Every structure is written in structure tokens, then in C-alpha cells.
Amino acid sequence: MASIELRHVSKHWGPTIAVDRMNLTLEDGEFVAILGPSGCGKSTTLFLLAGIYAPTEGDICFEGARINDVEPRDRNVGIVFQSYALYPNMTVLKNLLFPLRFKNTSNEDAHARAMEIAELVQIEDLLEREPSQLSGGQQQRVALARALIKKPNLLLLDEPLSNLDATLRLTMRSEIKRIQRELAVTTILVTHDQVEATTMADRIICMKDGQIEQVDTAENLYRRPDRIFVASFVGSPPINLVQGRIDKTMLVAGQRRLPVSGNTVSTNVTIGLRPELISTGEQGLPASIVNIEPMGREILYAAQSEIGLLRFLEATPQPRLALEEHVHLKADPGDVLFFDTGSGQRIEGVRLDAFS
């Protein structure tokens, strides 16, 4: 198993920059997710690691050794493509044996490995089938088995669940996690679905426009996002963002002034507050309900307050509040996050004194 390192890696396609000076270190056996909107360079990063693309600049290192010029076939990387990329002209068994064909594995050994791995991903009954005769979930399992059969140093999963239906996605999510834990193989999952990332990975790399926004655990991405983008991308329903300005010891937002303390610098700020951290009460920020969206277990309300539009969640099956009803919004002032509007960076050490 290898510890994997990207040092200042960039990939340019003509004038467009897919990956921009990326630095990253992965530990042995770690499960990392790359999370980001489409076109942010997450798949490119994956293909750089697999050796399908060569970096424009920077070094890719496995166990400290630079492997930029090592051919994909020599990197011992297993990859599961979004389309699964099963070889249509081969049976499932032949698909599984394909990676061993180029390593001097004896026939018996290869078959034994195939059986072992087929058992692990539970496709023992499908070995003689053609890929076209398999369902989406089965194809997914075969692709996973094919990536794992050569005991890769690194397993790369490119949006592996996006072609599955919702229930199957749920089972495959835990299946992949179980298999990864059993084999302790270093794994990188590329996804645009935050639920996939948070449920499966130990650490999440949040990417935007070819750059890493934040590398952290799911909890930290949610609680202490470093940047506005991370705050808005992680969490569902999305975080409330309100534009404002810090003026000495006051936060000016909309028509309201709220006291702040800490090392305040007068600047334009964006404040973020998660909908699930807002509740209603006797006192607090006055607002009126402008929209009600029942989401099954919870109700998502939108309320117009003096600082701006705020969404909040209430865990009741039926709407308790009515449109245009006047309410007071409550929140722990410590939950309010401050971001520098210009740089998008979170401002630490600034605290809201009261949310009212």
C-alpha cells in the first residue's frame, strides 16, 4: 500500500485549467472523497493519478517516489468508471481475469483470485454472463471486482453510484464501504453528491474550479467550512447566506444592526447560518413567513426578516405556521459564521453577540 502525494500538480487543456496547483497527501488505507460540482476538475485529478493524463506541472508521488512518467499499466491502480467500462466482448469471468492477463499469474492462481473477489462482491453466480445481460448494480459490482482483483495500491472510483437508482445506491454505498474496510485499500471516490461523500469517506476534499477549497472530515466541512463555497455546497437544504458589513462593533445587514465582538475589522462580510439551527420562539429576530415547503419528515419555511431572507427547518409533519404569519427567529449567535465577501475566506475570531 502506498501513501500518495500530489505536489503542486496542474493540468491545463490549452487555455483552460482543469486542475490548478493542487497539493494533497493521502495516508495508507484511507478513504477520501473528492466532492465538487461538475467541471471542477475532480475526475481530471483521478485520471492524473491513474496516469491516463500527464500533469502539465507538478509531481505525483507514490511512497515518496515521483511517478509522473510511469505508464498507467505499471502504476497498479484500480479504477471504476462512471460507465463501469466493462469489456462488452468478454464474459464477467474474462473481465475479471483481464487485469491478471498482463501479470505473470498462473491460470490456477488467476481463477482462484477471481473466485475470491467474486465472492467478496457477491457475483459468483454471474461469472458466465455477458455484461449486456447484467443489471446496473451487477455491472457496478463486476467493475469493482475487476478493479480490485490485481490488489491495487490505490482504488479510484469515478462517480460509481450516479447511474444507479436510489435504493440500489444506498446498498452499494454501504457495500463499497464494507469492501474498502475489509481490504484496507487506499481509495479515492469522486462524486458531486455530498451524501455519498459524507457517508462513505474518512476525509473529504472539496474542490472548485480546479482548486482545493478545503480538506477535512465531513463534520468539519459542515460545522467549520473554510470558505463560502464549502458552506454553500455542503449541507441540505443549503445554508442561509446574508450579505452585510462589519462597522467597528456592529454587523450591518439589511436594515438591522447586530452587535459583534472579537478582532473585528471593518469589511464587507457574508454571514452563514444553517436552516436546521434556526428555530422560532417568543423573542428573537422578527420575520414573516413567505414560503412553506413540506419535505415529508420536515417542513422548510422561508421567512423574510429585516436582515434578509432566511430559511429554517421544523420537524413537524404538518405545517405549524401559515403564510404571512409573524414569527421570531431564534438561533445560537455562536452558530453564525462570518466570511469575507471579497476573498470568500471564513473570518475567525469574530462572534455575534446576540441574534435578535
Partner 1 sequence: MALTQRDWNVLARRSRNIRHVQMGLLVGFLTIVSIPVVLPFFWVFVISFSARTGGVESAVLWRACGVLVPAVVAYVVVHLTFDSIRKRLFGAAVLILLVMIGLIVTVGKDLHLHNYRFLANANLIEDLRGAATAGGQFPWVWEAFVNSLLVAASSTLFKVSIATVCGYYLSRFAFYGRSAFLQTLLILEVFHPWMLTIPIFLVIYWIGLLNNLAGPILVLTVIDLPFFIFIMKGFFDAVPWDIEMSAMTDGASRRQAFRHVVLPQVWAGIIAISVLGFIRGWEEYVFVTALRTGNSYWVMSTYLYYVADDVMGVDYGVVAAVSVFYMAPSLLLYMFLQRNLTQLTLGGIKG
Binding site for partner 1 (CB under 8 A): 47, 50-52, 71-73, 75, 77-79, 81-83, 85-89, 98-99, 101-103, 146, 150
The residue among 152 and 210 lying less far from partner 1, judged by its C-beta, is 152
For partner 1, which is the closer residue by CB, 52 or 354?
52
Q: How far is CA 350 from the centre of its chain?
A: 28
Distance separating alpha carbons of residues 128 and 75, to the nearest angstrom: 29
Q: Minimum Å distance from CB 56 to partner 1?
A: 16
In what side-by-side order are the strands of the sheet with 203-208?
77-80, 154-158, 186-191, 31-35, 203-208, 211-216
Instruction: In angstroms, give the least distance from the CB of 334 to partner 1.
Output: 48
**What residues have CB less than 8 Å from 277, skipping those under 6 apart?**
331, 332, 335
Rounded-to-integer distance, Cα 196 and Cα 354, Å: 36
Nearer CB in complex with partner 1: 153/305: 153
Least CB distance to partner 1 at residue 89 (A): 4
Q: Minimum distance between the CB of residue 298 and partner 1, rounded to whole angstroms?
A: 39
Measure the CA–CA gap between 53 and 1, rounded to whole angstroms: 22
Kindly tell me which of 83 and 243 has the beta carbon lying closer to partner 1: 83
Please state the closest distance from residue 87 (CB atom) to partner 1, in A.
Answer: 5
Burial of 176 (0-12, 13-18, 19+ CB in 10 A): buried
> In the β-sheet with 299-305, what is the strand arrangement from edge to edge?
279-281, 326-330, 285-294, 299-305, 309-314
**Shortest Cβ 157–partner 1 spacing (Å):** 13
Nearer to partner 1, 87 or 243 (CB): 87
Q: How far apart are CA 222 and CA 224, in angstroms?
A: 6
* Nearer to partner 1 among residue 100 and residue 239 (C-beta): 100
Q: Which CB atom, from 95 or from 240, has the smaller least distance to partner 1?
A: 95
For residues 128 and 332, which CB has a smaller minimum distance to partner 1 in the complex?
128
Cβ neighbours around 194 below 10 Å, total: 20
* Amino acid present at 39: G
Listing DSSP states for 257-312 in one string gives: EEEEEES---EEEEEEE-GGG-EEESSSEEEEEEEEEE-SSSEEEEEEESS-EEEE
Handedness of CA 136, 139, 143, 148 (dihedral sign): positive
In the complex, the smallest distance separating the C-beta of residue 94 from partner 1, rounded to whole angstroms, is 10
Tell me the closest approach of the beta carbon of residue 131 to partner 1, in angstroms. Answer: 10
